[in-house]
Structures are given as structure tokens and as C-alpha cells.
Structure 1
Amino acid sequence: MALDPAPAGLRDRKKRQTRDALATAALRLVAERGLEQVTVEDISAAADVSSRTFFNYFPSKDDALLGDHMIDSDRFTARLARVPPAVPALAAVRAALGEVIDGMQADRERWLLRMAVVERNPALLPRLVAAGTEAERAVTAAVAARVGVPPDHGFPVLLTTVTGAAFRTAMLRWAAAGGARSLSDLVDEAFDALAAGLPDPPPAH
């Protein structure tokens, strides 16, 4: 029996490399030319693959730009469930975000470019909002299960909303500083402010 010349691990790695190359090419081209001036054919050529190959990885140009969802709902809820029950829900959500933050920092250049592209091309925002709404539903249900209340209780919705806002605020500050500060530190700063009841900051001098 002939041996498979490309073991599963190698195939998966090559697929990931091709997907990453397409996403990076899409972001760079749109950053240079603008959303409407870039085609799937342009992206495919820049990544040195065919347009047919592009559609094996992404259904559209927008999907290549936005990439994978920031938060994988299933993985996040599994991580949240592993946080000890004695940990308050706010701190548990912060702990469960650790893997997401580490992944973004490891892929720093592409995330900063993606955020700049979205800021310059507001037409992409509805897709982001839709993906965020889907993730927030899953997080709300996970928080409700953790604290023992129904998903329509006010607390899980409120916690999901304010922690989502805190995370987005930290991301925007991270992007504005060009990644000079640690995203993890900025998220901690935002969550610490929430935990303290959002007191007024000291006056800036």
C-alpha cells in the first residue's frame, strides 16, 4: 500500500499557510487601494494561488479581510466552564479571554492591519456586528449557567455587554498605539476599572 506523501499534519499546516497568505494579501491590498478597488483575482494573484483556490478558503473578499471570528463561542464557553466556581463572573470572563488575547498578540501585525482596514472601510462593520451578536448570545448563556440564573435575567446580558465594551475599548487603544502597549495589560486595566465600579480617574496633568 502506497504511503500518503503528505501526512495529515503537513496538509493541515499547508492549508493554514495558504489561508493566512490569502488573508494577509487581502488586508494589505485593501489598506493600499481601498475596499472597492480590490478583487478576489487581485488577492489570489498576490498570494500566488488561483481564484478557485481562494474560494476553497473564503466565500467572499469580506470574509478574507475579517478572518476567523475573534471569539470562538464553543472554545470560550469551555474555558469559562473551567474557571473555578468561586471566581466571580467578571473575573472569570477575563480569565476565559486569555487565549483570545494571546492569539491576537501573537498575530499582532495582521490584527492591527485588520483593525485599520475596518476603520477605513465602514462597509465591513455590519458583518462584524453580526458576528459579535452571535458570540454575545453564547457568552450570555454561559454566564447565566455559571451564576445559576435564566439567560433572560438582567445580569448575564449586562455582564456580557459591559465586558464586550471593555474588550473593544482595550483593542481600540491597542490599535491607536500601534501595539506599543500589551493588549493583555490594556484589557486588565479596563476590567479592573469595571471591578472597581468605574470610579472617576485622577485628573490628567
Structure 2
Amino acid sequence: MATSDGGLRERKKRETRLALSHAAIRLALERGWDDVSVEDIAAAANVSERTFRNYFGSKAEAVVATHVERGRRTAEALRDRPAGEPLWDALVNAVVAQFEPAEPGGPAGDRFAAGIRELVAEPAVQQEMFRVHALAQDELAAAVADRTGAPAGDLYPQVVAAVVSAGLSTALSRWTLDPTEPIGPLLREVFGQIRAGLPEQR
């Protein structure tokens, strides 16, 4: 029973973190980074400012929490893929599953894409993204190691996780140029090139 309660508490915490993150992103896109306060974000998520402080130390940390959660879900999805599925099939399916279908309520269009580019260009957000990027990559490397049976500290899972991370970043950057199209096919195209060994084009 304790395990069940612990699992429920953890799920509720993750839901609250994600709600705060979505509120922070939405308000920043609507009002601009400098015109959004922690109090605004907490109110939009229907929690107290104290609750916000229990989860995040800054607005930037709240914004990138969505990225952290997506990375955690990708690692979990990889572990849940069928055991007999080839590694790269499992990786691609685990990544694409985080974007298909698109998250409910997610806006699209040139204005949204421009807003996202401005938001991630904020120095505070960039610094926080750099910090959590390594954590997300480590989680994926651990999932790859579990799936392949690689020994602790083996280089292969770390390389795979780094390549997946780079491919995802490339796809997201390309997608913001035309966010009216679904990102799933673009992700599969990017990872298809990676799996092919990035053959030289003539």
C-alpha cells in the first residue's frame, strides 16, 4: 500500500510540475518574459506562490521543466518497448511517442514559433536548458544501458544518448520554421539519416 501511495504522490508531483511549466511558457509567450512573475505563474496553475517555490527556484527552471519531463518520459518509454525490438527502432518510437499526438492545447503557427525562439533565447532559459540537458541525456543513457545490458560506465549508451539528443534538437529547431506541420515525420526523417550512418550526399 505504501508503494502505491508513494507512486500516486510522485505522479501528482509530476503533474503539478508540468502544470506550472505549461503556465510559465504560455504566459511568457502571451506577455513577454519580463512581464511575467512567479506569482502570475502560480495563479495561472491554481497553486500558491509557496507551492511554486517548492518545485522551482526560478521562472527559467519552470519553463524548462517540460523539457525535463519529456526526457524522463522518453527514457521510461524506451524501457517499456518490446524486448525484441531493435534498439534504434525502440529509440525512435520512444521519442516520437512524446510528440504524437501533439500535447493538448499546444498552439501552432508562425507567431507561436517566433515566440518559442525568443523564449529559449533568454539568457536565463538558455543557462537552465544547458544544465538540465545533461541530466536528461544521462537518464536516456541509463535506459539504453539497461536495454542493451551494457556495463556501468560503458561508452556506448552515452554516445547513443548524445546522438539522440542532437537529432531531437535538430528536428525541433527545423520544426519551429514551419510548426503547422506535424513533427513526427520530421523526427523519423532525422533519425533515419542517423541510422543510415549519415551517408555523404552528392
Q: TM-score, normalised by structure 2?
A: 0.71
State the distance in 2 between where 1:27 and 1:191 align: 28
Question: Secondary structure of the equivalent of 1:101?
Answer: coil
Residue 24 of structure 1: how far off its partner (Å) = 5.5
Cα distance change of structure 1 residues 34 and 78 upon mapping to structure 2, 3 Å threshold: closer
Correspondence for 2:78? 80
Is it true that 1:158 corresponds to 2:159 in the alignment? yes
The C-alpha deviation readout for 1:103-128, integer Å capped at 9, x for no partner, is: 64544328857732433313211212
Q: Partner amino acid for 1:168?
A: S
Q: Check whether the contact 1:66–1:114 (CA below 8 A) recurs between aligned residues.
A: no
Residues 1:55 and 1:163: Cα distance change in structure 2 (over 3 Å): same
Alignment of 1:78-117 (within 5 A): 78-102=76-100, 104-109=102-107, 112=113, 115-117=116-118
Q: 1:112 to 1:82 in 2, by over 3 A?
A: same
Q: Does 1:173 align with 2:171?
A: no
Counterpart of 2:100 in 1: which secondary structure? helix
Spell out, residue by residue over 1:59-113, the C-alpha distance to the aligned partner (whole angstroms, 9 max, x if none): 332234334324252x433422332333322221111123312264544328857
Cα offset for 1:190? 0.5
| Unmatched tracts of structure 1, length 5 or more | 1-11
Residue-by-residue CA offset, 1:12-64 (whole Å, 9 max, x unaligned):
8xxx79x74x656543553466434432345567x496xx7244245332234
Corresponding residue number in structure 2 for 1:35: 33
Letter of the 1:180 counterpart:
T
> 1:158 and 1:38, CA in 2 relative to 1: closer, same or farther beyond 3 A?
same
- Match of 1:137? 138
Q: How many residues were matched structurally?
A: 183
Change (3 A) 1:35 1:198: same
CA RMSD of aligned residues (A): 3.4
Task: Give the C-alpha shift of residue 174 in structure 1.
Answer: 1.0
Task: Output the CA distance in 1 between the equivalents of 2:74 and 2:23.
Answer: 29
Partner of 1:186: 186
Q: TM-score under structure 1 normalisation?
A: 0.70
Deviation at residue 183 of structure 1 after TM alignment: 0.8
- Partner of residue 56, structure 1: 51
> What percentage of residue pairs aligned between the two structures are identical?
27
- How far, CA to CA, are the matches of 1:114 and 1:148 in structure 2? 42
Rounded to whole Å, the distance in 2 between the matches of 1:148 and 1:23 is: 34
Structure 1 83/116 Cα, relative in aligned 2: closer, same or farther at 3 Å? Answer: same
Name stretches of at least 5 consecutive residues in structure 2 with no aligned partner: 1-11
